[in-house]
Amino acid sequence: MYHEIRIVLLLSLFLLPSRAFAQSTDTTATDTFRVQLSEVTVKAARSTITERDAGFALTVRERSPEDVALTPGTSLDELLRPLVGIWTNDRHHFALGERISVRGVGYRSNFGVRGIQVLYDGVPLTLPDGQAFLDVVDPAVTRTVELIRSPASVFWGNGSGGGLFLSSQPPASAPTVRARVQGGSFGQRQGVLEVTANTGAWSLHGYTSGNRQNGYRDHSEGYRLRAGLNATRRFSSETELRLTAAGDVQDTENPSSLTLQQFREDPSQARPAFANVNAGKQSEQGQVGAALTHDLGPATFSGTGYYLYRSLENPLSFGTITYDRHSGGGRFTVRRTEGRIEGGVGVDAGRQSDDRVEYDSTTADGRAAGDINLNQVETVLSGSAFGYLRLNATSRLAVTGGLRVDRIRFEADDRLQTDGDQSGSRAFSAWSPTLGATYDLGTTQLFAQYSSAFETPTAAELSNRPGGGGGFNQQVAPQETQGFEVGARGTVSSARLQFDIALFRLRVNDLISSYEAPSGRDVYDNLAANTHDGIEASLTWQATRSLEVAARYTGSRFVISEAPSSSLVGNRVPGIPSRRVYLHTEVNHQGWWARLSGEGVSSYYADNANTAKAPRYVLVDLRLGHQGLQAGGLTFKPFVAADNLLDERYASSVVVNAFGGRYYEPGPERSFSLGFNVEW
């Protein structure tokens, strides 16, 4: 009953601001503006598709200058929470990053991101083996989010159960220099410096930021430094070159997860086994890329080359993991329009090399110790080709089809050989078709699509053999996803409404599932199949120029439909809530900007056996700031942020199938932060 009362109170909070400000807002000009879907080309789709005519479920979020300047920007969760179809868990420490899944794909990941293709400023963060680490993504400067919510292997290949494209590119109206400092609860401090400039034929955008926290939980102190640079040159109206670079350095403690009893007694505590060995992570990650686009008249050529480096030292309770990673590749696409037909072909190639060394123990001060139990070089080679055609059959009906073929080879060079030479290889191939249609009703677009995705085990997952030792796990196989969806999106201009609704079903065969062994290591195997059914609904009401009200709902029924053990059949897929509601009211009034947002999440299971649950919760957050106070040629933009206003005790994430009941990763209690921007 108490939970339902809180939901009623939450809904009341959204109604009150709209009534109060509607009385004081000038509405004389409200009939002169309209809401419409973006016509900007969606980069995540690798074609000329826009948000308006995409034949699949798609969300594009372009952050306003107020959103960028007047919100903390310390977590990706804040950027992704307003989107339907995506589930983001923020651990509130730097050691593991956010756990992200799209329509349930990627739920098994307890570190990094699995099953979702992620790009940052055009450079793939998803490696050839299908895993991604998002450490270099800086939420404080990220301005555009594009989310493909359906299987997308036809665009990106391995690990593309969805597509997430993030961009820091500022608008032309961005200030030349922006500096920001902020501080808040639990010792959180952040500084950001961002510069944009035009130098001759080059347009430049650079940024650097530092973020440090003591942490809500014990043993969660850490810092991270980020920097990035983007340079664009247009040689002519037909040719453009873009160069990009980004990097991240971090050093952080890891409090790990808790049992239900520990979570109830004191959610701020750390797992003793992790605190006793100073478990944490020290990592560096850097990437560079170059993209060239050339217009050939009816055709357009685009090519991208990129390189990524990452090093990791990861002391844990059961040992220490270290590696040096080098990855790079290229992507080339030619697109052409001829009458009613649009089409494109492309090729991708990538290489990844991990020099991995693992020790069997960790000292009390977090140093590697004991014997080396794994020492091998893991190499991943990938190659693919794809093509698509779009037929504009009539002025309203368009049909799109595509096909991609991928081949990926994993090789392990065992340099330890204490149990003999375990060197070996695994090779996988996949065909990924898609077929969809759109029908344009003017202000409403209907769409339907069949699509597919495949996902290999990652190099790290293959090297985590159940019995330990070098080489690869020869038992775990790739998973394949077949998806079907129907939906509608559009606007009701007279009411200033924008809407998006989609119904979907995914069939995931040979699902890669993880479980935590008694040692603490994650081990992987295949379940037979999952079935994911769901609905995604989004509604945005631009009541006046200064008042926006938004509502998002994601409902799902994800079940284990086939499994080696009959006791699992019919169980709910762990790690994903069946219902999630997001609401916000955003107001601009006499220079002030405010957003009151809330999220309600149902309880959900933490293990395949459905014996443990994360409790349901409601979070309410407030953002308040000023759009600009002028003084001495400078613009000052102060802001304040309050999170978890209801002081809810909740698990912000879970460790799926953890050993010993250690499922729960608590979120912080009520917290505040205060900061200001200086622009000139």
Q: How many CB atoms lie within 10 A of CB 611?
A: 11
CB 118 within 8 A of CB 164: yes
Q: How many CB atoms lie within 10 A of CB 499?
A: 16
Q: Which residue has the tokens 């994360």?
A: 614
The residue ranges of DSSP E strands in 48-122, in sequence order, are: 58-62, 86-89, 99-102, 113-114, 117-120
Position 36 scores a pLDDT of: 66
CB 153 within 8 A of CB 116: no
Position 111 scores a pLDDT of: 81
Nearest to 666 by CA among 231, 295, 264, 145: 264
Cα–Cα distance for residue pair 104/576, rounded to 1 Å: 7
Nearest to 597 by CA among 550, 651, 653, 638: 550
- The kind and range of the H/E element at 445 are strand 444-455
Backbone angles phi, psi at 11, to 5 degrees: -65, -35
Q: Which residue has the tokens 């950027």?
A: 79
List residues bridging with 243 in a β-sheet: 231, 290
Within a 13 Å sphere around the CA of 464, how many CA atoms are in the beta-carbon half? 19
Region at 3 (left for phi over 0; alpha for psi -120 to 50; beta for the rest): alpha
* CA–CA distances in Å: residue 241 to residues 307, 331, 349: 17, 15, 20
10-residue stretch averages of pLDDT, the chain, 680 residues long:
43 40 38 60 81 90 95 95 95 92 89 91 94 95 96 94 95 92 97 94 96 97 98 94 98 97 97 96 97 93 96 95 97 93 95 96 94 95 96 96 97 91 94 96 96 94 82 90 97 95 97 77 85 98 96 97 93 96 97 98 96 97 97 95 98 93 96 97
Task: Show Cβ contacts of residue 645 under 8 Å, excluding neighbours closer than 6 positions.
Answer: 620, 621, 622, 670
Position 23 scores a pLDDT of: 37
Position 330 scores a pLDDT of: 97
Query: Residue 435 corresponds to which amino acid?
Result: L
Nearest to 328 by CA among 342, 355, 348: 348
- The kind and range of the H/E element at 374 are strand 368-391
Q: Which residue has the tokens 């509405």?
A: 27
The pair of structure tokens assigned to 259 is 């049992």
What domains, with CATH codes, occur in the chain?
A: 2-679 (2.40.170.20)
Region at 122 (left for phi over 0; alpha for psi -120 to 50; beta for the rest): left
* CA–CA distances in Å: residue 369 to residues 315, 322, 519: 10, 12, 16
Rg of the chain (C-alpha set): 24
Q: How many CB atoms lie within 10 A of CB 320?
A: 23
The pair of structure tokens assigned to 190 is 């952040």
Position 512 scores a pLDDT of: 87
Position 8 scores a pLDDT of: 39
pTM given for the model: 0.92
